[in-house]
Each structure stands twice: as structure tokens, then as C-alpha cells.
């Protein structure tokens, strides 16, 4: 028993509150390891940094940045960096904790970490974006490193930002440390298959879930919220498998077409300016997205989107969590009661960190694999993990989310117990 954290007051649907309630649900399945569970309820280390830069107009701007290392019992920290004006320490804590669970769920030799800067990158010039990235990297440089903690892309960050992070860290340590970040450009030690890996993992786990539900993907209607790296790639792969993408929502709005949206024209437009300018569908109110006629719902934007009210409305039979933490606990219960199957984030979107792991291994060995090999290994790791989780869910008659937490938390707490407490 110990006190609650003083620096965060989680509310019921906040990301950290959601995470804590997910941990509470797994305790009955942890046996004797439950005595270590408190270790999952607090981050190992959290760093808040000031990121001052000189803007193009000569003014000085300050941004707040974070790097949280939630747990490193099984290996170095691993997790993305998010640039978003609404990022908070509490959100980054939750995202880092979900990384701990995710890396353990797919059995990668990592712990969990996450980072973020409170900034709207769309309002920065390319030069300002580079300055923010480099100063932030230098500030968190005291706790990251190829063997300590390895950042990667997340919302609003990409391969170019990873290249600047790698270069900044390398300049500070006096070498070229390619293994300090993943999701880098290919010619800087990046891996084939990384850009599409998360969306691909969403598709692979979704295809297996559909098979078990006896749902034919040909003609299946799919609604996708968030049309960035994760959502757009998942949509493409489902369309290739014969599904119809009937609704897409991004930060600019929502478009629907019951006959299926044409992704070849939608994708480049969405990348350039967002989905609402698209002529091949109807623009509808954002709230109508949640009761659109569909079989599969893919939330792939931000946390807390699938609320209790939206869970009551959805017509989907299968929810694939591309985003981290999109479903609040009350919505989880409603979906379970309504017989809607949820493939949880901590396994569904684990494809990205899995190929990040391949990238890190390739950087260390300086030997690079071809894309077929990467995709085959990715599919195998995701399917093995999912099958084990499914067996656990069937054995205990629990949801896939609690089963994923059960499999993952057992691995994490076993490592904690075997290592023992220092000193």
C-alpha cells in the first residue's frame, strides 16, 4: 500500500485514470505477482523540460516538453514522441504505461516510455520545428540512449523529426548513434516496412478477429477516425482485402459514402489538407460518425474518443483500436454487454513498436533485412501474441483487453520479482 501520486489527480475518463482502471481489472489474474502491482501504477521516472527557441520573427518562445519512463523491468524504455498543443504530463504518463504493457504483450525486450511537447507544429516554420526538436532532444538527452530509452514517431512527428533527434543526440555524445531513435529515414538506419507497420498490425489483428467472428472482409463496411499514419494505412489494407471504407473522420471533419470512399484520390488530399475537401463523399456533422452503418470501427486518432454514449450508438461488431487509449472504461463495459468485440490498443497497434524493434536490432548489427522478411516476422509476432491472448481470454472468460493486460503484466511483474528491489 502506498499514497497516490501528488502530481496527478486522475479523473475517471482521463488517460491515466483509464490506464489505472485497466490495471485494477487485471489484479485478480496475477496470482502471487499481485503484490508487485503498485509498480505499474506509477512511472519510474518523469522529466519536464523547458524548450526555448528563437522564432523566425526574433521573439523567444518557450514550450513545455516531457519524457516519461514508466517501467524498464524488461529492457530499455521505448515509445513515441507527440507534438500537440494539448499534451500534458498526465497524458504522457498514460501513453508511457500503455507502452510498457504493449511491449510485454508482444514480448519485445523493452519497457515503456513516451514523450511530448506542448506545441502545434502546424504553426511553426520548418526551421522553428527543427529548433524545437533539437532543443527538446538535447534536454531529454540525459535520460535517453540506445540502451536506456529509444523514442519513435507518434502524433505529428515523422521520419525527418527522428533524423534531427538522432543527429542532435549523436552530436552531444560525439558519434553516430543510429539506435537512439526508431522510425528514421531509410538511409539513416531506418527500416523497410516501419512507416506502414502500425496500420499493418491493425489490419493483421483485425483480419484474425474478423475470421473468428466469421465476418467476411469482402464487402465489410469500415469507419476510420484519424487518417494519419495509422488510420490511412489500415484503411488502405482493408480496402485491398475487399472492404468498403464508408466513413473517415480527421481533424478537419467527417466524410461518408455508403458505397465506399475512393482511397486513391482521398489519400493524397487528406495528407495535404485534410479530408473535408474531398468530392467523392458527403461531409456530415462530426457526431454522425459514431452511428454510421458499419461493421468495423477503427478509432485511430486520440485518447478518450469512444465514450459511453458513442459505445451505445455504434453499429460496428468489431472495434480495432489503432489509437492509444481511445475507449474509456465505461464504454468498454457497454461494448462487452452489447457483444461488440474490441481488439485493444496494447495488441492492435503493436505493429509499429515491433518493427521499431527490428530497426533497432538492424542498427546494432548493421545488417538490413528486406521488406518481405520484415512483414513476415511482423505477422508472425503479432499472430503469436494475439493467439496467446485469445486463449487467455477464453480460459478466464474475460475481454481481450483484460487478457492482454494479464499476459503482459505477468511478464513485467515476473521480471520485477526476479530482478528484486535495489538496494
With CB under 6 A, what is the number of residues at the site for ligand NAD? 23
CB of 189 to ligand NAD, least distance (A): 17
What is the C-alpha radius of gyration for the chain, rounded to an integer number of angstroms?
21
Distance CA 353, CA 113 (A): 12
Nearest to 261 by CA among 273, 246, 241: 246
Distances (CA, A) of 366 to 44, 179, 189, 255: 31, 10, 8, 45
Kindly state the smallest distance separating residue 225's Cβ from ligand NAD, in Å: 5
154 near ligand NAD, judged by CB under 6 A:
yes
Interaction mask 322-341, ligand NAD, x per CB under 6 A: xxx-----------------
Q: Is 103 in the site for ligand NAD (CB under 6 A)?
A: no
The x, y and z cell numbers of residue 342, run together, are 474490441
Among 43, 226, 281, 329, binds ligand NAD (CB under 6 A): 226
Using CB under 6 A, which of 163, 300, 320, 347 touches ligand NAD?
300
Asked if 229 is part of the footprint of ligand NAD (rule: CB under 6 A), the reply reads yes
114 is catalytic: yes
CB of 250 to ligand NAD, least distance (A): 3
Select the residue interacting with ligand NAD from 153, 189, 281, 329 (CB under 6 A). Answer: 153
Q: Is 77 in the site for ligand NAD (CB under 6 A)?
A: no
Q: DSSP H helical segments within 121-276, as ranges?
A: 126-140, 159-173, 194-212, 229-240, 263-273
Nearer to ligand NAD, 40 or 300 (CB): 300
- Nearer to ligand NAD (CB atom), residue 39 or residue 96: 96
Smallest distance from ligand NAD to CB 267, Å: 11
Residues 6+ apart with CB under 8 A from 188: 163, 166, 178
Give yes or no for residue 378 binding ligand NAD (CB under 6 A).
no
- Is 100 a binding residue for ligand NAD by CB under 6 A? The answer is no
Residue of the chain from 10, 116, 228, 304 that contacts ligand NAD (CB under 6 A): 228
Rounded Cα gap, residues 76 and 78, in angstroms: 6
Of the candidate spans 5-13, 214-222, 229-237, 399-407, the one that interacts with ligand NAD by CB under 6 A turns out to be: 229-237
What cell was used for 149? 530509452
| Separation of alpha carbons 289 and 157, rounded Å | 26
* Separation of alpha carbons 386 and 391, rounded Å: 9
Residue nearest to ligand NAD (CB): 228
The CA–CA distances, whole Å, from 97 to 15, 76, 251, 305, 350 equal 10, 13, 26, 19, 14
| 301 is an interface residue for ligand NAD by CB under 6 A | yes
Angstrom distance (rounded) from CA 93 to CA 245: 33
User: Binding of ligand NAD at residue 155 (CB under 6 A)?
Assistant: yes
Q: Which residues contact 72 (CB under 8 A, 6 or more apart)?
A: 44, 111, 149
Shortest gap between Cβ of 345 and ligand NAD (angstroms)?
Answer: 7
Q: What span, in angstroms and rounded, lies between the C-alpha atoms of 351 and 322?
A: 10
Residue 243-282 contact track with ligand NAD, rule CB under 6 A, x = bound: ------xxx-------------------------------
- Per-residue x/- marks for ligand NAD, 165-204, CB under 6 A? ---------------------------------x------
Cell numbers of 422, please? 535495489
Binds ligand NAD (CB under 6 A): choice among 132, 256, 302, 413: 302
CB of 171 to ligand NAD, least distance (A): 26
CB atoms within 10 A of CB 224: 30
x/- mask, ligand NAD, residues 112-151, rule CB under 6 A, reads: ----------------------------------------
Question: C-beta of 122: minimal distance to ligand NAD in Å?
Answer: 10
Q: Which of 78, 102, 114, 184 is catalytic?
A: 114
Sign of CA dihedral 368, 373, 377, 379: positive
Here the cell at position 37 is 502491482
We find the least distance from the C-beta atom of residue 280 to ligand NAD, in angstroms, to be 17
Biggest CA pair distance of the chain:
64
Give least dist CB 188 to ligand NAD, A.
17
Separation in Å, CA 176 to CA 121, 145, 173, 181, 356? 27, 12, 8, 12, 18
Q: Which residues are catalytic?
A: 114
Interface residues toward ligand NAD, by CB under 6 A: 153-156, 198, 225-231, 249-251, 300-302, 322-324, 349, 352
Amino acid at each position: 500500500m502506498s499514497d497516490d501520486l501528488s502530481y496527478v489527480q486522475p479523473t475517471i475518463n482521463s488517460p491515466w485514470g483509464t490506464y489505472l482502471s485497466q490495471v485494477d481489472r487485471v489484479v485478480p489474474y496475477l496470482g502471487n505477482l499481485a503484490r508487485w502491482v503498485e509498480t505499474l501504477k506509477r512511472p519510474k521516472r518523469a522529466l519536464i523540460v523547458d524548450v526555448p527557441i528563437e522564432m523566425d520573427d526574433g521573439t523567444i518562445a518557450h514550450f513545455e516538453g516531457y519524457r516519461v519512463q514508466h517501467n524498464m523491468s524488461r529492457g530499455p524504455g521505448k515509445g513515441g514522441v507527440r507534438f500537440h498543443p494539448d499534451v500534458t504530463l498526465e497524458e504522457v504518463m498514460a501513453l508511457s504505461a500503455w507502452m510498457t504493457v504493449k511491449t510485454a504483450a508482444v514480448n519485445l525486450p523493452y519497457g515503456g516510455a513516451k514523450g511530448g511537447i506542448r506545441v502545434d507544429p502546424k504553426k511553426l516554420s520548418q526551421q522553428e520545428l527543427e529548433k524545437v526538436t533539437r532543443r527538446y532532444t538535447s534536454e531529454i538527452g540525459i535520460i535517453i540512449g540506445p540502451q536506456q530509452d529509444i523514442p519513435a514517431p507518434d502524433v505529428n512527428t515523422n521520419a525527418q523529426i527522428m533524423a534531427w533527434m538522432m543527429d542532435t543526440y549523436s552530436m552531444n555524445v560525439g558519434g553516430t548513434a543510429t539506435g537512439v531513435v526508431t522510425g528514421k529515414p531509410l538511409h539513416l538506419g531506418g527500416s523497410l516496412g516501419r512507416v506502414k507497420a502500425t496500420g499493418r498490425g491493425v489490419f493483421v489483428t483485425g483480419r484474425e478477429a474478423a475470421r473468428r467472428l466469421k465476418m467476411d472482409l469482402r464487402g465489410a463496411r469500415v469507419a476510420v477516425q484519424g487518417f494519419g499514419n495509422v488510420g490511412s494505412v489500415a484503411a488502405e489494407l482493408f480496402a485491398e482485402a475487399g472492404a468498403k471504407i464508408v466513413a473517415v473522420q480527421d481533424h478537419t471533419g467527417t466524410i461518408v459514402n455508403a458505397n465506399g470512399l475512393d482511397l486513391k484520390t482521398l489519400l493524397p488530399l487528406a495528407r495535404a489538407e485534410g479530408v473535408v475537401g474531398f468530392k467523392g463523399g458527403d461531409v456530415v456533422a462530426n457526431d454522425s460518425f459514431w452511428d454510421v452503418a458499419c461493421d468495423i470501427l477503427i478509432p485511430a486518432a486520440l485518447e478518450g474518443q469512444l465514450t459511453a454514449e458513442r459505445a451505445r450508438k455504434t453499429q460496428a461488431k468489431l472495434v480495432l483500436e489503432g489509437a492509444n487509449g481511445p475507449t474509456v472504461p465505461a464504454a468498454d463495459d457497454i461494448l462487452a454487454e452489447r457483444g461488440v468485440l474490441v481488439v485493444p490498443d496494447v495488441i492492435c497497434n503493436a505493429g509499429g513498436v515491433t518493427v521499431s524493434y527490428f530497426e533497432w536490432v538492424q542498427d546494432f548489427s548493421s545488417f538490413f533485412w528486406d521488406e518481405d522478411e520484415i512483414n513476415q516476422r511482423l505477422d508472425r509476432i503479432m499472430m503469436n501474441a494475439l493467439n496467446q491472448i485469445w486463449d487467455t481470454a477464453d480460459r478466464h472468460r474475460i475481454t481481450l483487453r483484460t487478457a492482454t493486460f494479464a499476459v503482459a503484466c505477468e511478464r513485467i511483474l515476473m521480471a520485477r520479482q526476479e530482478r528484486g528491489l535495489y538496494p
